[in-house]
Amino acid sequence: MDSILVKGGQPLKGKINIAGAKNACLALMPLTLLTDEKLILTNAPRLSDINTFKQLLNSLGSDVSITKDGREIHLSSKTIKTVRAEYEIVRKMRASNLVLGPLLAREGRAIVSLPGGCAIGARPMDIHIETLEMLGAKIDLKDGYLYATAPNGLKGCPIKLRFASVGATENLIMAASLAKGTTIISNAACEPEIGDLIDCLERMGANIDGKGSSTITVEGVDRLNGATHPIISDRIEMGTYMLAPVIAGGEVEISGGNIEFLGSFIDKLLQIGVSISKSNENIIVKGPTNRIRAINIKTEIFPGFPTDLQAQMMALLCTADGTSILHETIFENRFMHAPELIRMGAQIDVSGGLATVIGVPKLKAAPVMATDLRASVSMILAALAAEGETVVNRVYHLDRGYENVEEKLSNCGALIERVSL
């Protein structure tokens, strides 16, 4: 099993290119199930989660090929050979549940295993089920599978989400695109990845209004066409690499990202004294000469502070001047990285959804273990500034959401390598 070896203390200097968004790509791939024509996704990230979703679609009968060194995904679903999404594939990744809405819309039935993914909370399917049932689906849970049928087809109606769930919003938009009539979704999630999903659906012939807002109106159409669609950049990868020079020192130029997706995160960086400037289309982040200021963070749905950057921010605040409080409101079990940071000398106290971080002057290297995707990269960030040599184990989590981390950081001067122990 691979591990990442990091020798701390090296300031960074260089340029990092941001890949296409994992969470956008995983929501776009099931769109192939809504059409019998070809769908081409460009600017794709090269990640194990993408390969897992490819495997899932292949099992349903889709023809999926990844070309141009992993940067382009060609999908075709002329026929669906089965509507059963098996546990052995679905358990690996939460986003597998996004085949539920498209299968119901096209085939009128679906059998989908309850999903897996990072163990960062319950993340139930109840909102997905409730909203699809409002469209006319009948869904039962049996033996760990959701058995869904639409005996009279799906019919549009007004739907208010009781929580702005990203996955439920995506499933609902996809299902509603082929439903009869109009679906008005209120309290919808409005993440950039949902905007990207709407853009692609519109390229395919869908009729959708309200992109970027919490009210989305979908006018169902009889059929959808194929399309070619460029995937937006990964805002979480961008935020992660913006933190690297702040933690390790130095200066990094970020290219290919969209700073507009990270407003609340940028605000926090500016408040703690980070220098951020623009150079043409790129962003330049300079590490501070002194310890950064402590700050309080509360994760929220977009446009609030992203939960997917909470672990990385905690790694930074471990060496801040003062006491910081992180309030995790999205997932109830997302501080599993705290014990690993404590092994490196951090002072962190976790109580429920609150983590109190008392800054220390320096972290020290230690063997640590990645507990989930974002936690894995937070260990690497912390190791960049730690004294000594840190070994980060279980980095298969990392490969689900970050491509070539060691290459991107080593190109900026970090002493980092992947090893098999």
Catalytic residues: 118
Nearest to 363 by CA among 13, 9, 4, 11: 9
Distance CA 136, CA 157 (A): 10
What single-letter amino acid sits at 45?
P
Q: Fill in the DSSP letter of residue 53.
A: H
Mode of pairing for the β-strands spanning 72-76 and 109-113: unpaired
Backbone angles phi, psi at 92, to 5 degrees: -80, -15
User: What is the secondary structure of 65-101 as a DSSP string?
Assistant: EEETTTTEEEEE-S--S--EE-HHHHTT-GGGGGGHH
Helix, strand, coil proportions of the chain in percent (round to 5)?
35, 30, 35
3-state class (DSSP) for residue 16: strand
Nearest to 159 by CA among 169, 151, 149, 167: 169
Distances (CA, A) of 20 to 58, 351, 391: 22, 35, 28
10 Å CB burial of residue 299 (0-12, 13-18, 19+) is buried
**Contact status, residue 62 vs residue 82, Cβ threshold 8 Å:** no
Q: Where do we find the tokens 């853009």? A: 199
3-state class (DSSP) for residue 133: helix
